[in-house]
A and B are shown apart, each in its own frame.
Chain A
Amino acid sequence: SAVISQKPSRDICQRGTSLTIQCQVDSQVTMMFWYRQQPGQSLTLIATANQGSEATYESGFVIDKFPISRPNLTFSTLTVSNMSPEDSSIYLCSVPGLINTEAFFGQGTRLTVV
């Protein structure tokens, strides 16, 4: 199994500012995923971060709003830019396991925008 550390675990931010969330994995992985979990909603995939290439964004998510970095095989960041209260959510990073049915998640970053 993979151990994933996410920072910060929570934050309260002013609207219009940006927050960068860090995700560190204890092993090298090709793909990392960023999800959003809005209150009372399912996890929604934001983007797939591959090392050495641009992130692939899902429908409804754009790079200007959620820029992603993937400098190496164990680390990624997600930035939530120009935040509004609608961005209040839990953001989770994830990596696939040895079988493609398995995904390991960080503990999440609980973001509140005021």
Chain B
Amino acid sequence: QKEVEQDPGPLSVPEGAIVSLNCTYSNSAFQYFMWYRQYSRKGPELLMYTYSSGNKEDGRFTAQVDKSSKYISLFIRDSQPSDSATYLCAMIDSGNTGKLIFGQGTTLQVKP
């Protein structure tokens, strides 16, 4: 069993739709939960991070963490064609600075 599971998609939605991206994990030691966005032929860039459980909102993006279910989500409101990218969840436990465990990544396409 992989430590982090993420549906690779692809996911195709019309412009303006609400997008829900999800990951599950098995290691209860994970404390920090990140979402990275990777455009084609580029390296990943940090989109949002959350510590422990709860929600975090940044503009059209909302990250949720449910540690009891070992489940994290990223919601994108009013999706735009420019949101088309691969979204990777990543996690880190409190003792491993810089060592990230990534999900497989979900490819999202937002159609105009």
Residues of A within 8 A of B (CB): 4, 6, 31, 33, 40-45, 48, 92, 94, 96-97, 99-108, 110
Contact = CB atoms under 8 A, between A and B. Distances in A.
Name the prevailing secondary structure of the A interface residues.
strand
Interface of B: 2, 4, 6, 8, 32, 34, 41-46, 49, 51, 88, 92, 97-100, 102-105
Closest 10 CB pairs of A and B: A105-B43, A96-B98, A42-B102, A100-B97, A101-B49, A43-B102, A101-B32, A42-B104, A107-B43, A105-B44
Given A107-B41, A107-B43, A110-B41, 6 more contacts: A31-B98, A40-B8, A42-B2, A92-B43, A101-B46, A104-B46
A101 B92 CA distance: 7
Q: Which of A4, A6, A99, A106 has the most CB of B within 10 A?
A: A99
Contacts of B44: 43, 92, 103, 105
A102 B46 contact: yes
Contacts of B92: 100-101
A33 B46 CA distance: 16
Contacts of A41: 104
Nearest to A95: B98
B7 to A, nearest CB: 12
